[in-house]
Structure formats: C-alpha cells, structure tokens
Structure 1
Amino acid sequence: MSDIRPPLPPFTAETAAQKVRAAEDVWNSRDPARVALAYTPQSVWRNRHEFIQGRTEIEAFLIRKWEQEHEYRLIKELWAYTHARLAVRFAYEWHTAEGQWFRSYGNENWDFDSQGLMQARHASINDVPIEESQRLFHWDRSAPRPAEHPGLSALGL
C-alpha cells in the first residue's frame, strides 16, 4: 500500500474537510491495521493519558480500544486548518460489554508530513454516560456514515 495519503498539504478548506472525512471513514472501519497506515511509521500520539509512538503501538492501542468499545460509531468535524495542520472536534458513541452506553467528546490536533501521513496526533477526550435511547449516531456498522446522516453541528453537539 502506498505511503501517500491524499489530500496532501498545503490544505485548503475543501481538502482539509476531505482529510477529516477520510479519517472518520477509516476509523469507523474499526480495522486497526488499516487505520495505522494513515500515520507515519514514527508518528507520535497523545491519547488521553497514553503516549504512543509508531504504527505498531498505534495498532496495538486500537486493538485494545475496540475490544472495549462495542458498536463504535464516530463523527469528526473540521474546526480549523493551516498549511499542514488540522484541528478537529469529534464525538463517538459506544457501549461496554455490560451494555453501558457512552458518548465520548474530544478535540484533536493533527500534523501531517508532505506525503499526507499524520506525524503527530494530540487528543483530549471526555466520556459521558448516556442511555441507549439517547444515541444519535445510527447507521449500518459495516459502512461509513451515510452522507445524509447529520454531522456534529447539525446534531447540536
């Protein structure tokens, strides 16, 4: 698989939004190996309290994550962009093995290399328990979020 991930910097409003949607789609695949390929081999992450470096650690982290976060569905939204950096806000819904639902809210700062691979990701995330009846993210788990499904702003999140 190619180590070039368009759209490439420098970003415009349009290409930045495309990059965010592509990231949302790959994360919603819940395929740790596929997700890890969007990052440089030496990518550095801060995710909550964890500091992660490189694709191998990213993949291991995602395996652990999705073993605990059942029926994960994510929506990302572009907040701001510069030449090679994006600020993104997101929310995702999931439940524990015991059936407790959560909506996790967060912000990410992304930094890309010239090939369009993410070389740094800094994420701050908060989890809010919700009732199953409060879920807002409804689409077939085997597919990306449909174009007609509302985004975060349209949902008032």
Structure 2
Amino acid sequence: MKLLKNILIVLFAAFAYSCSSDDIEEDALSKDGPFPISELAGTWEATKAQFSVSTTSVDVVEDGGTASMKVQSNGRFTVTLNPIDRDAYTVSGEMFWELWQGSYYFAIVWDEEPGDWDTYGHTFKDNTFSINGGADTGEYDFDNDGDMEACSLHFIFVGT
C-alpha cells in the first residue's frame, strides 16, 4: 500500500508541474491570428518575386518571368516560379501564425524544412498579399549553377 501511495504522489506531482501556468509555450503555431489563414485560399499571381543577398538582387517578375501561388484553406500552398533563364520549379509548405510574447508573426513551414519555420513581415489588404523575409528566409540559384543560395525574399501577390 505504501508503494502505491508513493507512486500516486509522484504522478500527482508530475501532473501538477506539467499544468503549471509558468510552463505556457512561448511560441505556438496557429491558423488564427490577425486574420484566419483560410482567407488566403485561392490562386495568387505575383507582381514581385524578389530574392536578395548582399548586393545581388533578382526579381523573377521584373525580369520577364512569372510566379504564382495556390493556397488551400488549411494553409498548405505551392509557389510556382518560372524565371526566363531556366526551367520552372515549385516550392511548397504551410502557412501559420506564430504567437510569441503576445504578438502574432506570419510563419511558413517549408516542406524541405519540416518542424522548423521562418517568420515574415506581411501585409494583406483588399486583394493584395505581400511577404518580406529577412536573411536566410528564402533560397534562389542566383548564378544558375544548380546550387540554391540562402537569401531574403519579397513577394507581392494579387488574388485572381
């Protein structure tokens, strides 16, 4: 009986500790934030698809290529980039809001980096959605040698 009592005490202490208000998760992902991620569902055409690192910058759209994004209501998306100097390719992932220290940040979990996410500045007004990423939030093959280089990105999309 004493053994059972000791086990119950240990289990109760572990349960009480795990429910402590001091253990609130600091950064949590959600589909609800300043607007529900589901509001982005649909097809979007880019008016800007810019990749930058140091003094090098490429805007796929400005250079004559295209970029589009298809978003599902659950936040899953695929971006198709079609630069004029190489074959088209796609990247995909899932959109969220990261709640951190009482503020929401637009976040993307890229399929190539599951379990990790990058946060982006964003605007969403009328039928225009833009994201701005800091250093190492995107990748682009600047010299078309088959190797992607880490960079920042800036996209402006218009819903179609």
**Larger helix fraction of residues:** 1
**Larger strand fraction of residues:** 2
